[in-house]
Amino acid sequence: MAESGARSEDQALSREDSLRARDRERVRRSRAEGRALRLLWLLAGPGVLVMLGENDGPSMVSYATTGVVYGIGFFIPFILLTFVMAYVVQEMTVRLAVATHRGHAELIFQRFGPFWGYFAMADLVFGNLLTLVTEFIAIQAGGLYFGLSPAVSVLCGVLVVFASLALRRYATWERALLLLALGNLLFIPAAFLAHPHPGAVLRALAFWSPLPGGFDTKFLLLMLADIGATVTPWMIFFQQSAVVDKGLTRVDVPQGRLDTAIGALLAAAAAIATLLAAAPLHAAHAVAQTLATGADFATALKPYIGHGGATLFALGMTEAGMVAAMTISTSSSYALAETLSVGRSLNLDFRAGRWFYGAAIGSTLLAAGIVLIPGAPLLAMTLAVNVIATLLMAPALLFLLLLVNDREIMGGLANGKLANLAGGAIVIGIALAGAVYGFMTVFHP
Amino acid sequence: MRPDGPPPGLEALEPGQLTARRIAPYPRRRLGPGVRVLLWVLRIYVLIAVPLVFYAFIRAAAR
């Protein structure tokens, strides 16, 4: 009994707790001094990171493809709408995190039992591994545009991920990643270099026009792909765990919401900018099927947005892959460590967090290694990623709704009737769209 | 450790944020009939979805 008491005392005074307490003390002082902007600066991070992280390599290719196929029109407000939906979903993870101080994977495990716990963890970790492969494909493609060999690009990507983990401090990791994630905004100057007609953009935003001619399979697939590019299972797991790791509490919910909204706005701006930057290829009647990677788009766009614009585009694509590799590998770490009930924080040292860091290091090395295997079925993996992410979105969203309505753990932060109506409709819509996309991708000839 | 709050130096944390407290799991949720049905529907969905994922991967790899 005395031994167990001593152990609990040791755990209570762990490095993780001390570092988090230091961060919370800064928050307490800023709140007491009434410094609203500083408070937001201290509490923001997970929301911006999750939204910009989801603007990853394949997502940016999806937005660029939309620009090539349909140009300026219906898809601009549609992309904005998908980020509104992403905000509604992600806001629930903030409330879950502050109410329970637990990650998403451990809550599923504890509240619904080992079957669903292991299922959620396994599907996330497997899906994340394949997604990591696609991020390294994006990094490799971006490197090719700048004349780097695949091995050098992939090695650089791996080293950046490892360097971020070596920080062993959540706050520093988050700030470093935020700085890198702002590279997502490189698509905005690239879009300006495409000289889109302001009237056309405003008309598209106001009237959702022009509508693409005909409601065919191609249109439906792109629409569903854009939804899949905005809301995915790893985001739910990542933001909830990151909010817990950062140490937000119930009084921080407004800042957590603002953080998520700012992230959604920035990510929507980058996504729409990607579409606008690629739109000149629509006017030139380019064939989207010939453009598979970020480097293909950058090369094809050079005559229209110039060397500078194409360079920004290629850099943006590389950065998108890099940031996503860091957030997605961390999301796997959180989920695995939470399910195994071992140390799960970026504030841990390597000994205490060997499972946590091991998962990120292992999945990064595996994904990077797969990309470098000559003749590896990379296209098959990219397709499988989309199918896994979209088909398994339904279970992830269902558990999110069940947990956020669980009054025993949520207390006053549980969904109200209005939130359930809005959230439920969006969740059902996204889950159905995901399932339709998954089935269509499989059976599309 | 004080039973009602964090130990000295960690006052800025809520008790539930302490690593030692977070180790204790929440109890299993008592599931109502509606949730039970939902989870069974989910099981069937998963049984259909997982083979589809493998099928998609194998088909794409064979191309």
How far is the C-alpha of A108 from the C-alpha of A120, rounded, in Å? 8
ipTM of model:
0.86
CATH of range A44-443; options 1.20.140.10, 3.40.190.10, 1.10.10.10, 1.20.1740.10: 1.20.1740.10
Query: Tens digit of pLDDT for each residue in A58-96?
Result: 889 889 988 998 999 899 999 999 999 999 999 999 999
Interchain CB distance below 8 Å, A442 and B55: yes
Q: If you average pLDDT over every residue of chain A, what do you get?
A: 89
Query: What does the pLDDT read at residue A167?
Result: 93
Interface of B with A (CB under 8 A): 1, 6-7, 9-14, 16-20, 22-23, 25-29, 35, 38-39, 42, 45-46, 49, 52-53, 55-61, 63
Interchain CB distance below 8 Å, A17 and B18: yes
How far is the C-alpha of A274 from the C-alpha of A185, rounded, in Å? 9
Report whether pLDDT(A212) > 80: no
Contact status, residue A322 vs residue A140, Cβ threshold 8 Å: no
Query: What does the pLDDT read at residue A10?
Result: 47
How far is the C-alpha of A78 from the C-alpha of A73, rounded, in Å? 9
Task: Work out the minimum CA distance from A10 to partner chain B, whole angstroms.
Answer: 9
Query: What does the pLDDT read at residue A445?
Result: 55
The CB density around residue B51, as the number of other CB atoms within 10 Å, is 10
How far is the C-alpha of A121 from the C-alpha of B44, rounded, in Å? 19
Query: What does the pLDDT read at residue A9?
Result: 47
Of A21, A341, A383, the CB nearest to B60: A383
Task: Work out the minimum CA distance from B25 to partner chain A, whole angstroms.
Answer: 6
Interchain CB distance below 8 Å, B19 and A442: no
Average pLDDT over residues A29-45: 95
Confidence grade of residue B50 (pLDDT, cut at 50, 70, 90): confident
Task: Work out the minimum CA distance from B33 to partner chain A, whole angstroms.
Answer: 13
Task: Work out the minimum CA distance from A409 to partner chain B, whole angstroms.
Answer: 8
Q: Whose CA is closest to A12, among B3, B24, B44, B1? A: B1
Query: Tens digit of pLDDT for each residue in A122-174?
Result: 888 888 998 999 999 999 988 999 999 999 999 999 999 999 999 999 999 99
Interchain CB distance below 8 Å, A438 and B11: no
Axis crossing angle, helix A393-404 with helix A114-145, rounded to the nearest 10: 130
Query: Tens digit of pLDDT for each residue in A109-122?
Result: 999 999 999 998 98
Query: Counting one residue from A and one from B, how many pairs have CB atoms under 8 Å apart?
Result: 124
What's the pTM? 0.91
Interchain CB distance below 8 Å, A21 and B6: yes
Confidence grade of residue A6 (pLDDT, cut at 50, 70, 90): very low
Establish if A428 touches chain B: CB-CB under 8 angstroms. no
Interchain CB distance below 8 Å, A442 and B26: no
Question: Nearest 10 degrees: CA dihedral of A267, A272, A278, A282?
Answer: 150
What are the residue ranges of helices labelled H in A73-113?
A: 75-100, 104-112
Tokens representing A340 are 């195994």
Report whether pLDDT(A179) > 80: yes
Establish if A296 touches chain B: CB-CB under 8 angstroms. no
Query: Tens digit of pLDDT for each residue in A363-412?
Result: 999 999 999 998 887 767 776 777 777 777 888 889 999 999 999 999 99
| Burial (CB count <10 Å: 0-12, 13-18, 19+), residue A311 | middle
Query: Tens digit of pLDDT for each residue in A303-328?
Result: 999 999 999 999 999 999 999 999 99
Task: Work out the minimum CA distance from B37 to partner chain A, whole angstroms.
Answer: 13
